[in-house]
Amino acid sequence: MIVNIIADTFVDSNILIYVYDTDAQKKHETAVAVVKKLWQTKTGIISTQVLQEFYVNVTRKIPNPLSPASARDVINDYLSWQVVTNTPEMILLASEIQERNLLSFWDALIIAAARQGGAKTILTEDLNHGQLIEGIRVVNPFVTH
């Protein structure tokens, strides 16, 4: 399934990780297509949390991990996207989002970062597809209907 990319799209780490997890087959193909579209449209938004999670997972947790140097090169490329830096104020906001929406703190921090970055959509497989949280639409690009 190819997701219709709209402006201001926040991308969770799991989507970026699947770009490099070739064992994930269909999810890998979908993630590659989605991220390619985001590069073309220059509409991708990520956060420092996403970059941290990406690094740990692609260097340690996927079946064919990247070397630390290769992972750093990829992260360096992603620095050309809009990157939201998690601040102490965002941590407080995330705690409020967590409480209001009954989410994990880490998912709430993703939403806080997406909101801070002006995102209209969050691409993730960690939240409910189609859900509207804090005014941001959750899209799981791997859902097929």
Q: Classify 118 as helix, strand or coil.
A: coil
Q: Are 145 and 31 in contact (CB under 8 A)?
A: no
Q: Which two tokens stand for residue 112?
A: 């806080």
> Is there a contact between 4 and 19 (Cβ–Cβ < 8 Å)?
no
Please report, in tens digits, the pLDDT of each residue of the chain (145 residues total).
Answer: 445 555 689 999 999 999 999 999 999 999 999 999 999 999 999 999 999 999 999 999 999 999 999 999 999 999 999 999 999 999 999 999 999 999 999 999 999 999 999 999 999 999 999 999 999 999 999 997 5
Q: How many CB atoms lie within 10 A of CB 103?
A: 18
Scan for tokens 């691409």, then name that residue. Answer: 123
Element (H, E) at 36: helix 26-41
pTM to 2 decimals?
0.92
Residue 39 buriedness (CB in 10 A; 0-12 / 13-18 / 19+): middle
Q: Which residue, among 45, 58, 48, 71, has the nearest Cα to 14 in the 3D structure?
A: 58
Q: Go through the domains of the chain in sequence order and give each one's CATH number.
A: 9-127 (3.40.50.1010)
The reported pLDDT for the residue numbered 144 is 76
| Cα gap 36→54, rounded to integer Å | 17
C-alpha–C-alpha distance, residues 58 and 27, integer Å: 15
Cβ atoms of 114 and 99 within 8 Å: the answer is no
> Measured between alpha carbons, how far is 130 from 139 in angstroms, rounded to an integer?
6
